[in-house]
Amino acid sequence: MAECGRFAPTPSGRMHLGNVFSALLAWLSVRAAGGELVLRIEDLDTLRCSAENAGILKDDLRWLGLAWDREQPDQSARSEYYASILDLLRGEGFVYPCWCTRGDLKNAANAPHASDGHPIYPGTCRGLTPEERAAKAKERAPLWRLRVPDGDVTFIDGHYGAYTENLAHECGDFILRRADGVFAYQLAVVADDIDAGITQVVRGRDLLPSTPRQLYLYRLLGAAPPKYYHVPLLTAPDGRRLSKRDRDLDLGVLRGKYTAPELLGALAHAAGLLEKREPVSAEELLPLFDWAKIPRNDIAIEI
């Protein structure tokens, strides 16, 4: 089967250097394998995302020379599709409605926390009777959680190797749909990657702890998962992680200071693909690309 990769940016602001680094490696990995690339705008959070930002994002990718072959519908337009996937899971008894608020969970004494910082759900609404559910449903709409097993999910990351997580102990029953009706990233990303026939996912190492959750969803849905390659994060020279708040390293500023080949050269050098920091195009990097050259530690970059 031909390889198919994707860019899945969230248009909540301008791309920063770290986003460009992940996009470059996603592009190189799938192009080097002769595969195709899909672009999907992940705008589930309609308060933080905008069509204007999505347009700028596409323009930035074109400016960088990172072309894609096809576009998937924006996530904000796919509620019906996600609802059908949630219904499938509901039909099998894998999900349950929950009325706990964020405040309830914060107040739970000594609640353990998952690796991504959210409190592990203590299972309060897991065992409600149909009568209890009916009574609560009259008051307000529930959110929907996936029941997770007490067992290890292990996978081999293409870059970081074996990674294991016990979903019950390290994550807990996680949310698939919020009480306001917005679908959660975990559900949408799996539903969309299945729909697009994605065979490889290249993304920042910050999403590594989400991967066992997503693999568990693949298992329940009976779909073949893609191969995952997580990439190191870029940091400022003082070790600070880059974020959308660092306006000095977003493309709005960087495009005024550098050409695209200069920026790609700096990133390719940081990635171990170029010995010297020199201007280069994405195409010119293709014959040099090799996962074995990419560092595993986060990379401090001066720009």
Tell me which residues touch ligand GLU (CB under 6 A): 8-10, 42, 189, 203, 207
CB nearer to ligand GLU: give 125 or 250.
Answer: 250
Q: Which 3 state secondary structure label does DSSP give 60?
A: helix
CB nearer to ligand GLU: give 98 or 207.
Answer: 207
Write down the least CB distance from residue 200 to ligand GLU, Å: 11
Write down the least CB distance from residue 9 to ligand GLU, Å: 5
At 138, list the tokens: 């009259």
Residue 100 CB neighbour total at 10 angstroms: 17
Write down the least CB distance from residue 124 to ligand GLU, Å: 29
Rounded to whole angstroms, the Cα distance separating 189 from 211 reads 11
Query: Torsion angle of alpha carbons 187, 83, 196, 230, nearest 10°?
Result: -10
Residues 6+ apart with CB under 8 A from 195: 72, 81
Write down the least CB distance from residue 206 to ligand GLU, Å: 8
At 156, list the tokens: 């081999």
Q: Are strands 152-157 and 161-166 parallel, antiparallel or unpaired?
A: antiparallel
Q: Tell me which amino acid residue 251 is.
A: L
CB nearer to ligand GLU: give 7 or 144.
Answer: 7
CB nearer to ligand GLU: give 8 or 294.
Answer: 8
CB nearer to ligand GLU: give 189 or 274.
Answer: 189
Write down the least CB distance from residue 296 to ligand GLU, Å: 19
